[in-house]
Structure 1
């Protein structure tokens, strides 16, 4: 009986592989993973848990819970953590992160380079169709998130207060304040029994390395604005804007929309029209929605832009989520059972529903819905996504074509 126990434990331990294997597996996933973060998690499970058997269901479920708990892009964070696990450390995580992000980042960068030369009525109709896609997609995100993140009166109230704060006090500071207020309100209004652990995470990350990652996350978040003010460097300002946006994304990739809009459109770095067109196209490409940053960095009207701007923006937006995951891995098993931590997250997640609701009106709705025909097309896209479950890339194709047809009429 005792002799068999070690073998049973060993069978549950996730297996290790090479960096090349990790890169190849996630490059394949980066090319084929359409449909947003929830769909990405399904692709990961099918490919890595079911087919390749890199880890078991309980470990995978626990890993997903960790990445949904933290701010940042959940699917990119899961891919990074799976790379750390399979590749036996940080190099494996970097390989999986790069491979999963690269395909869609290249597509978005290519679109940024042709968008400025894409002129004429058909081009304008195409770009307007992409803006209407953004209306449908953000409305769908709010619809789905509200059911899971604001299922009761206290959390619905937190969402409404967050919406009011962002509407009355526009700008990135108000969004940060709304999330912080949501967390504080959650400590008071959203306490419940701690969710039981679903498994046990055993990653090749020491507590000292995890602590260093968390310290680096905090230093970059707090100190970079002061360095930007002292140096006047626009390149550092771009890094700071995208890093801060990535550090505050609670609740999914779509929540980055209002944060980035406040950071790049409000100061005039990117026009609102270009911003929404890129966001609409981002729904049609595989991989993480956060590769929208590569597009924004490339189309900015002040250097660094182009390839350098795309690289800075993309790296800065994804970096905080990766630092948080790497830093939290060795502490997660003890931290996740604390009721106060879970209550604060319930409150902050409810707040992001309100923030996204404000973004649906401005800038998304006010910039895209100009006539009754636009409203009809946006509603059609929303129903395709929510009722008929059409993939987001299919809605992009249909509404972009409808926008071009509308421009000819």
Structure 2
């Protein structure tokens, strides 16, 4: 059975089963993700690829092209990128309700852990013991190594030609130079515009120029001047050859046709109707505008509503996933005085050791914001506010994707978006590196470069995960142990 036939059969079978078997299927394939997905979004994408594209000995849920397209879409839409990716893969495979189950499986374990941290941090003194700072610094250093490895692995898949290689470098370098809400979406759009211009306009012209130069070099000068027929014949022959190559074979179709069919057969049965998708998108923006108007009109906004507004706004304007959410959340909860800088940095360090999405950080911050009234209410508000925008837009745009993905221009734009977004992952390495070292005197975080040992920890983590197959969770915990070892020998 061909690969396309396998996916087609799998899609039909998945569409014909009832809800309970689909729920059981997704639960058995995803129940452990919320407990084992350490390392942040770049590592999460690798985990999702291994499980649902490679299959890990089981039937894949989607193929490589669909995965790459979803990756680009999740980066182009606001919200938690890896969470949207897990949700969208499950939605394609099994439908909306099973995808919602996967979302909670994916996010709740880490969210509950951050809620417990919010309860515990309220009972911690202003100054922590020195070994705790060393432990947190070691966790951060190990996470830097994990994210660096994931960035390299993602880049290998994103780079398909010289242009995408340049866009990965462009995204990484440009992301290091500046940081603003509008900046990262602009970089992603520039990547999409570059591949669109190349694929639909410049590539044809460049290839035409190269072909003319080859013909001039290969043909005698007098033939080139006096005889123009062979050139036309050559063009005609190449056109005929291209047609023959792309024509269906007697064995069920060409490889090119199978590759074009592969992504499409995994999506249509469990998709959201286009009308519903448009309604969801419109409804979301109506809710967003309403909340922002209320925020501007009311002079004394109740703290729970103000917290929800800030989290809802953050979930709407953040592009690029977890690495981008940290500086924005700092602006939204520390500057108003809701959370102290020390508690913010402690939570940032510890969330690297928690599984699941980094957007669970909002649960911790929401709990601390309403700690005087109800930590539980604050945690729930943070969770709903930060996750709802991304999931809603993901469902809405996925309904339109079955139509949009057939357009060559859209596929071309996504290729550039994918490359530029992977480049931005490299900026996460730098930004976490610059605030990863915590001490009693520098509770706001300083560069890990202040102590060479943290570079050793990051490089070792990268090496053992890449070359020796150590699980990322174990490597991150090893970084924490290395931090304690450093304190025991030279830190004190």
TM-score by length of 2: 0.66
Match of 1:368 in 2: 445
Contact 2:50 2:56 (8 Å CA) reproduced: no
Candidates 250, 256, 275, aligned match of 1:208: 275
Q: CA deviation at 1:28?
A: 3.5
After superposing the two structures, state which structure 1 stretch, 259-268 or 317-326, moved more: 259-268
SS at 1:70 equivalent:
helix
Counting matched residue pairs gives 392
Contact 2:168/2:420, CA 8 A, preserved across alignment: no
Contact 2:448/2:455 (8 A) holds in 1: no
Q: What does 1:274-285 align with in structure 2 at a 5 Å threshold?
A: 274-285=343-354
Say if 1:179 and 1:348, in contact at 8 Å, map to a contact too. Answer: no
Alignment correspondent of 2:98: 92
1:69 corresponds to which of 70, 73, 93: 73
Verify the 8 A CA contact 2:115 2:363 in the aligned structure 1: yes
Partner Cα separation in structure 1 for residue 170 and residue 7 of structure 2: 48
Q: Is the 8 A contact 2:315 2:389 kept in 1?
A: yes
1:394 aligns with 2:443: no
* Map of 1:38 onto structure 2: 45
Deviation of 1:99 (Å): 2.5
Distance 1:37 1:69 in 2: 16
What do you get for the CA RMSD once the two structures are aligned? 4.0
**Residues 128 and 117 of structure 1: is their aligned pair in 2 closer, same or farther, counting only changes over 3 Å?**
farther
User: Which sections of structure 2, spanning at least 5 residues, go unmatched?
Assistant: 201-258
Give the alignment of 1:255-334 within 5 angstroms: 255-300=324-369, 306-334=375-403
Taking the aligned partners of 1:240 and 1:210, their CA distance within structure 2 comes to 24
Moved more, 226-235 or 185-194: 185-194
- After superposition, give the CA deviation of every residue in 1:129-167 in whole Å (9 maximum; x if it has no partner): 32453355357536754772796446644554454442x
Q: Residues of 1 paired with 2:288 and 2:148: CA distance?
A: 27
Give 5+ residue unaligned stretches, structure 1: 167-174
* TM alignment of 1:2-41, pairs within 5 A: 9-13=8-12, 15=14, 16=17, 17-18=19-20, 21=24, 24-25=27-28, 26-35=30-39, 36-41=43-48
Q: Which residue of 2 aligns with 1:230?
A: 297
* Higher relative contact order, structure no. (Cα contacts within 8 Å, ≥ 6 residues apart): 2
Q: In the alignment, what sits opposite 2:233?
A: none
Aligned pair partner of 1:110 in 98, 113, 116: 116
CA distance in 1, matches of 2:434, 2:6: 58
Q: Which moved more, 1:135-144 or 1:374-383?
A: 135-144
Structure 1 residues 399 and 215: CA distance shift in structure 2, 3 A: same
Taking the aligned partners of 1:185 and 1:80, their CA distance within structure 2 comes to 27
The structure whose Rg is larger is 2
Report deviation, 1:307.
1.0
What is the CA distance between 1:206 and its match in structure 2?
0.8
In 1, are the aligned partners of 2:145 and 2:462 still within 8 Å (CA)? Answer: no
Partners of 1:382 and 1:32 in 2: how far apart?
20
Match of 1:380 among 456, 462, 477: 456
1:6 deviation in Å? 11
Q: How far apart are residue 79 of structure 1 and its match?
A: 3.2
Secondary structure, counterpart of 1:286 in structure 2: coil
Match of 2:241 in 1: none
Give the match's secondary structure for 1:193.
Answer: helix
Question: Which string of whole-angstrom CA distances, capped at 9 and with x for unpartnered residues, describes residues 249-283 of structure 1?
Answer: 44443332223223223333222322222222222
- For the structure 1 residues 386 and 284, does the alpha-carbon distance in structure 2 shift closer, same or farther, using more than 3 Å as the test? same
Equivalent residue number for residue 199 of structure 1: 263
Shift of 1:236: 2.7
Kindly state the Cα deviation for residue 109 of structure 1 after the two structures are TM-superposed.
Answer: 1.0
Counterparts in 2 of 1:120 and 1:353: CA distance versus 1, 3 Å = closer
TM-score normalised according to structure 1 size: 0.77
Q: List aligned pairs for 1:66-215, cutoff 5 A.
A: 66-71=70-75, 72-85=79-92, 88=95, 90-119=96-125, 123-134=129-140, 136-138=142-144, 141=147, 144-145=150-151, 148=155, 152-153=165-166, 156-157=169-170, 159-166=172-179, 175-186=180-191, 188-191=193-196, 192-193=198-199, 199-200=263-264, 201-202=267-268, 203-215=270-282
1: CA distance between counterparts of 2:23 and 2:419?
41
SS at match of 2:47: helix
Residues 162 and 133 (structure 1), Cα distance of their counterparts in 2 relative to 1, 3 Å cut: same
Q: Distance between the aligned counterparts of 1:259 and 1:404, measured in 2? A: 31
CA distance in 1, matches of 2:183, 2:7: 48
Residue 73 (structure 1) shift: 2.9
